[in-house]
Structure 1
Amino acid sequence: MGGVGKTQLAADYAHTAWKASSDAEGLDVLVWVTAGSRQAIMERYAQAGVELCRADPDDSEEAARTFLAWLTPKPGQRPCRWLVVLDDVADPTDLRGLWPPVSPHGSTLVTTRRRDAALTGEGRRLVKVGLFTMAEAVNYLTRSLAAHGRTEPSDQLTALATELGHLPLALAQAAAYLIDSGESAARYRDLLADEQATALADLAPDALPDEQATTLAATWSLSVARADTLRPAGLARPMLQLAALLDANGIPQDVLTGETARAHLTAHRIGTSPGITAEPAAVSHLDAVRALRVLDRLSLIDHRPDIPQQAVRVHQLIQRTTRDTLTHEQQSQYARTAADALLAAWPDIERDNALTQALHANTEALTRYAEEALHRPDAHEVLHRPGRSLGESGQVIAAINHFDHLVTTTRRYLGPDHPDTLAARHNLAHWRGEAGDAAGAVAALAELLEDRTRVLGSPDHPNILATRHTLARWRGEAGDAAGAVAAFAELLEDRTRVLGSPDHPDILATRHTLVRWRGEAGDATGAVAALAELLEDRTRVLGPDHLDTLATRHNLIFERGEAGDAVGAVAAFAELLEDRTRVLGPDHLDTLVTRHSLAWWRGEAGDAAGAVAALAELLEDRTRVLGPDHLDTLATRHSLAWWRGEAGGCGQCCGCARRAVGGQDTGAGPRPPRHPGDPPHFGPVAGGGGDGIVGKPTD
């Protein structure tokens, strides 16, 4: 059962084995996995695969398989002595295909609350971990109190151990309460017997035996009550209630200390009198951090501020007990507050991979606990954000899967014609196009446009205009550049009429994409003039470092190169690369696109060898960031083959590349991957307007 100390026993075993690593029976490799989900197991296996086997860090499944294969003993190789600890396995099916191999040199230690037959089998030994004996429980309490200069009568400690059911976690928290409060064991027993504790017993989690659950719930409740009396008073419980809806294995500190969380703490601070109308004092950032420290002191959470991406860990049973104390209305309200806090902490430009992974895990946990609340009265934008994050990081298949699931859930909770269901369909169609299925995107968006027009009525609704924008874009990508130009020209007239201000981001975005397709249709000179004018407007309205401004710079440079100024394009792209690296980071998709274009125009300017070197380096980075099968990675391979041929490295590459362009020898190299500077992070809500990709529909 939860709380008996399985993790501590496993940690002691692993620590002892590792300390003996210099001995003949010691370890060479120790891997600890917090196995709360299949994804968590896969990610830690993948990390081990990267660190031990030089596996690809961008293909977690393959890296995990590489690690498991590495554990298998090989003939003729020196035996590797290893221990893999799979801690707190929540579901036996999570281990399907992920059990470490049977080896005479290695061991696997699993801790779990589950008793499924699937966990046992040939070569596995089941060790049941029970409660403390009476002697162990009394000894634990005596030693814990003595370490802080406290003593209690043995009969009181014996009685307390009995009333706590000899459960190690309950004993630990009781000891912490006695030490921090200074109260006696007799007084603590009186509190356990209070009617309030009996009421909490009625809310005990189903997974625990009745008597032990009552005692455990009472212990946690009393610890929370004690925490609320410590400075800053009254914040521990609302903080724990928020944390109870997020990922048990790690919550970013900014999520629980940001403006949204602090507003929650201010509104729900314990001790605020309901009849007082005066506004309560706002909770500061420091107070929020101190509330976490208080919870940590009473062993209700583990707070590690040195790991800000996963600063707060909460035992799942504590989370469950806390959630069970909330009314349905409270849980719904707090779930949307937690969703707001996640969105506030989610950066527009994701440069910290650990933070991004933690935000994904917390959104997944919140959705698991409160999916219906996140769809009432409408679909919260946090449901869309992970899909956008996946797509913009190059994981387009994962983005497709995310939005496909979201279409299903919004349709189930809100109906097929709800604006949020239509928004999810919009995003799903877009990422299908980004995955290479432009024709499929066109078909899906054409159907969506009919449905949005029918449901929303007015052809001037922002979401109808956004769908027209995205549909026109993918028509162009499907090969109809002239049709895209005509559709964007008509859309520009309508958006200008509806929005009025020529500086509206959606109008600027429509101008941007219209110019792009005019260039694709062959009007490079006209595209240069229009982009130069647009760049001035976007710089004035959005600023020089805005992603849309940088996108326009990129396209302007590209079209100038197309118009004949290859040398100027090289110099301008080099300058843009510095700016994009500074603003977005070296691994952002747009930064990689700029590197591709810079390498291409170096070749066009006569430096084929320089283009080959730059593209070879880019191919390594794109493979690392995006994977070997991403369209941009394949495009880099294509361009590299072309310029190797131009540089004289292969008599076939140039011809192969030319034949890939329109099926004939065109005399011109392949263009870089997707059109540069046309990133997929636009939308009336998201802030760019370019492709109408929405977090949720506008009002």
Structure 2
Amino acid sequence: MVVGRAETVKHYAAPRAAVSWPYLVGRIPRQADCFQNRGAVGSLGAAVAEGGTAVLCQVLAGTGGVGKTQLAAHHARTAWQAGRVDLLVWVTAATREAIITSYATAGTIVLGADPDRPEQAAEEFLAWLEPKPSPIGSGSTGCRWMVVLDDLIDPADLRSLWPPADNPLGQTLVTTRRRDAVLTSGSRRRLEVGLFTEAEARTYLTAALTAHGRTDPPEHIHALARDLGRFPLALAQAAAYLNNARFNEADPQAGFLPIGCPSSCPQPCTRAECVTYRKQLADGARPLDDVLPEPAALPDDQAATVAAAWFLSIDRANNLRPAGLARPMLQLTAMLDPNGIPITVLTSPPALTHLTEQRTTHEQKQVPAQVTAEDAVGALRALHRLSLLDITTDPGSTSTHRTVRVHNLIQRTVRDPLAPDRYGRLARTAADALLAAWPHGTGLDVVAEGDVLRANAAVLVQHSEGALYTTAAHPILRRYGSSLWDSGQAQAALDYYRHLADAAHQRLGPAHPDCLAARTSLAHLSGHMGDTAGATAALQKLSEQMLQWLGPDRSQTLHTRYLLAHWCGETLGAPLAVTALEQVRADQKLALGPDDSDTLSTLHLLAHWRREADDAVGAIADGEQLVRDQTRLRGSGHHNTLAARSHLAAARAAAGDERAAVTEYEKILAGKLRLFSPDHPEVLDARRLLASYRWKAGETTDAVNALAAVLADEERIMAHDHARISRTRGLLEEWLAVLEP
């Protein structure tokens, strides 16, 4: 161990006379090609200047590959060349032994310390850096010094080895992937080094490519910078790869070939272009290392590829307490949205089961204890400490706002080595975790949480869809589609269900219940989007197939008949819908029970079609029964209860009590705004109906203004040829014509 600095050290007083100032110990890394004088350079300079006469130790923290060493080297080189430093010591701080060795070298050179006693020499050097009360020549160092501790892996390695923090002539600069609190204690200040800005990424990549005579279109270069997530190391290595690669046009699947391929190559090769490289980069089946330079061809004296740059950090994080959980946690986050994963997903029961099963430790082999939510948060903190992810809120929070962010290239690096079966299990675990965290209900808070979870589901489906089909389709696939519809993204939901129906047909077969369910949802949404005849025809065919393949008493068969009855009413008339729904409800009461949600939904729809068939008495009776049942089962503020009240109000308006319908619908609209986003189709429908009741009640001016506002919102949200817009526009024109003098 190094002796305490409070003890007497023999050779601290003055430097060797042979030293010629200024003096550099160690070697400053050379400046990278196309070095970016980025915003972080100014931040570092400002932080140092802010210290005034008090030493501020600057700690540059960030994940591997963001350019911490280059920023430190630029700062040190600038100070050295400007003559602001008399002694500059550059230390590669990967281990405690390496730090002591560098200090000892400085002590030997500056003080003539004994090189055979490195710990003693290191302590003498640190003591010499301490501020002295006397001017130079009488016991003070008298020189301006800077110590750079580059790539500190473990803060514990600096215990008792920190340069003094109270010498106004000294500066300390540390680069590290760690974010431990000890690195920001006292006068130490942490500066986060992150990604390039969009402008910095574009400028760097453009410069790196044009320096080798490339003329790629700017829009392609900018798109590639976005694909690489503005990650400095990835941009540098991608540029090097492109500058030294050609593309075999005859065999696109072969990827890129090195420049200088054998003359016997039968096909002509062209210089690789950004647009082609982006396609190869996006190929999830191709490992990331396949589209980056080999180690011998790395630019700027880099020692590791993008992927290798993080492996050490992952190992270190995995050894932090709670040991063995960081790696499986990072693997789980690699399946989800890099822009934000709710803490509740990563602490859900499926996530905890995954962590328990995949925990790896160096302790004696034993069945690991069940991992708790606190353990899972501890794993996230370990990854955060190693700059492998960012926790943007308190990790103990139950908020589903975006709280955990992971760079997409770190995710790719973690996913690439997984064997197919391991990858599939991990994807399904991520899907289970999303479902477990997905809240039930339809309130605005639920919708907001659904937005975050839907973004995660979209990423999961994008790169792992095949893994979500086994003997059935994973429920997350349908939850994602229904969430799109619930959020008001009608066209996106329709397009998604079209894809889901095709994928389920291909992977599961036409008779599988999940394939039939996807086709049912597609038909129903098509009707809502204006294709009522197509919806009716599709549901008629599905109903016949379900009767044959699933049987008449299956809830799925009965539900399809219920939807068919509705769209028959839209296309063939209300009396046909009433007759069909009465039979469906009778069959549901026998097969499912009178309080089953599907049975109640049929009563709800039956009340609507009785009203459309001019059976006001029957519609009111059904509506009153439905309101009683829904209130008893779900409460007065539930969406289903509001819908029941809506149909009852409509039935009473049809019976001539329009004023009561207006009053009731004002309350219903307020309730729906508490449940849905303002752009949701149900809110638009409620606003249109309220306007209609106002018109019928004689409030013509208010009705016209309200309907015009609905039309403007529908035109903003939906396609202009949508049947909904045509109906709203036609009704508004009709009212305006009546009001014309």
Q: Normalising by the residue count of structure 2, what TM-score does the alignment of the two structures yield?
A: 0.60
**Letter matched to residue 262 of structure 1:** L
The offset of 1:341, in angstroms, is 2.0
The offset of 1:478, in angstroms, is 1.3
**Letter matched to residue 402 of structure 1:** Y
1:416 aligns with 2:510: yes
**Letter matched to residue 438 of structure 1:** T
Structure 1 segment 558-597 matched on structure 2, within 5 A:
558-597=650-689
Match of 1:205 among 275, 289, 303: 289
Q: Where does residue 466 of structure 1 map in the other structure?
A: 559
The offset of 1:592, in angstroms, is 3.0
Is the CA contact 1:251–1:313 (under 8 Å) kept in the aligned structure 2?
A: yes
Aligned partner of residue 636 in structure 2, secondary structure: coil
CA RMSD of the aligned region, Å? 4.1
State the distance in 1 between where 2:336 and 2:534 align: 36
The offset of 1:429, in angstroms, is 0.8
Structure 1 segment 246-325 matched on structure 2, within 5 A:
246-271=336-361, 276=366, 280-284=369-373, 286-305=374-393, 309-325=401-417
Match of 1:443 among 537, 554, 579: 537
The offset of 1:324, in angstroms, is 3.0
State the distance in 2 between where 1:250 and 1:271 align: 28
Q: Where does residue 155 of structure 2 map in the other structure?
A: 179
1:480 aligns with 2:573: yes
Percent identity between matched residues is: 41
State the distance in 2 between where 1:308 and 1:5 align: 41
**Letter matched to residue 473 of structure 1:** H
**Letter matched to residue 425 of structure 1:** R
The offset of 1:513, in angstroms, is 1.1
When residues 583 and 154 of structure 1 are mapped into structure 2, their CA distance, relative to the original with a 3 A threshold, is same
Q: Where does residue 659 of structure 1 map in the other structure?
A: none
1:259-282 deviations in whole A, cap 9, x for unaligned?
4333433443333989645x7244
Is the CA contact 2:93–2:153 (under 8 Å) kept in the aligned structure 1?
A: no
1:23-46 deviations in whole A, cap 9, x for unaligned?
xxxxxxxxxxxxxxxxxxxxxxxx
When residues 611 and 229 of structure 1 are mapped into structure 2, their CA distance, relative to the original with a 3 A threshold, is same
The offset of 1:340, in angstroms, is 1.7
State the distance in 1 between where 2:427 and 2:700 align: 56
Aligned partner of residue 246 in structure 1, secondary structure: coil
From the CA coordinates, give the structure whose radius of gyration is larger: 2
**Letter matched to residue 206 of structure 1:** D
The offset of 1:204, in angstroms, is 7.8
134-143 or 324-333, which deviates more: 134-143
Aligned partner of residue 291 in structure 2, secondary structure: coil
Q: Where does residue 528 of structure 1 map in the other structure?
A: 620
1:504 aligns with 2:596: yes
State the distance in 1 between where 2:473 and 2:720 align: 35
Is the CA contact 2:91–2:102 (under 8 Å) kept in the aligned structure 1?
A: no
**Letter matched to residue 319 of structure 2:** T
1:393-449 deviations in whole A, cap 9, x for unaligned?
333322221111112222222222222221111111111111111110111111222
Aligned partner of residue 292 in structure 2, secondary structure: coil
**Letter matched to residue 556 of structure 2:** N
Q: Where does residue 228 of structure 1 map in the other structure?
A: 318
State the distance in 2 between where 1:173 and 1:476 align: 76
Is the CA contact 1:460–1:498 (under 8 Å) kept in the aligned structure 2?
A: yes
When residues 469 and 308 of structure 1 are mapped into structure 2, their CA distance, relative to the original with a 3 A threshold, is closer
State the distance in 2 between where 1:383 and 1:174 align: 47
Q: Where does residue 598 of structure 1 map in the other structure?
A: 690
Structure 1 segment 81-230 matched on structure 2, within 5 A:
142=90, 151=99, 153=101, 175=151, 177-179=153-155, 205-211=289-295, 217-230=307-320
Aligned partner of residue 460 in structure 1, secondary structure: coil
When residues 530 and 139 of structure 1 are mapped into structure 2, their CA distance, relative to the original with a 3 A threshold, is same
**Letter matched to residue 498 of structure 1:** A
Q: Where does residue 351 of structure 1 map in the other structure?
A: 444
Q: Where does residue 241 of structure 1 map in the other structure?
A: 331
The offset of 1:308, in angstroms, is 6.0
Is the CA contact 1:176–1:298 (under 8 Å) kept in the aligned structure 2?
A: no
The offset of 1:318, in angstroms, is 2.0
Gaps of 5+ in 2: 1-30, 47-66, 79-88, 106-147, 162-173, 178-286
Match of 2:474 among 380, 389, 398: 380
Structure 1 segment 40-59 matched on structure 2, within 5 A:
none
Aligned partner of residue 478 in structure 1, secondary structure: helix
When residues 15 and 136 of structure 1 are mapped into structure 2, their CA distance, relative to the original with a 3 A threshold, is closer
**Letter matched to residue 260 of structure 1:** P
1:587-627 deviations in whole A, cap 9, x for unaligned?
44323322222222122112112212332344444445557
1:102-143 deviations in whole A, cap 9, x for unaligned?
xxxxxxxxxxxxxxxxxxxxxxxxxxx9x9799779989948
When residues 5 and 293 of structure 1 are mapped into structure 2, their CA distance, relative to the original with a 3 A threshold, is farther
Q: Where does residue 544 of structure 1 map in the other structure?
A: 636
State the distance in 2 between where 1:145 and 1:412 align: 56
State the distance in 2 between where 1:562 and 1:572 align: 14
State the distance in 1 between where 2:724 and 2:538 align: 23
Is the CA contact 1:609–1:644 (under 8 Å) kept in the aligned structure 2?
A: no
State the distance in 1 between where 2:291 and 2:307 align: 12
**Letter matched to residue 624 of structure 2:** A
State the distance in 2 between where 1:634 and 1:460 align: 39
Aligned partner of residue 561 in structure 1, secondary structure: helix
Q: How many residues align?
A: 499
State the distance in 2 between where 1:156 and 1:446 align: 86
The offset of 1:338, in angstroms, is 0.7
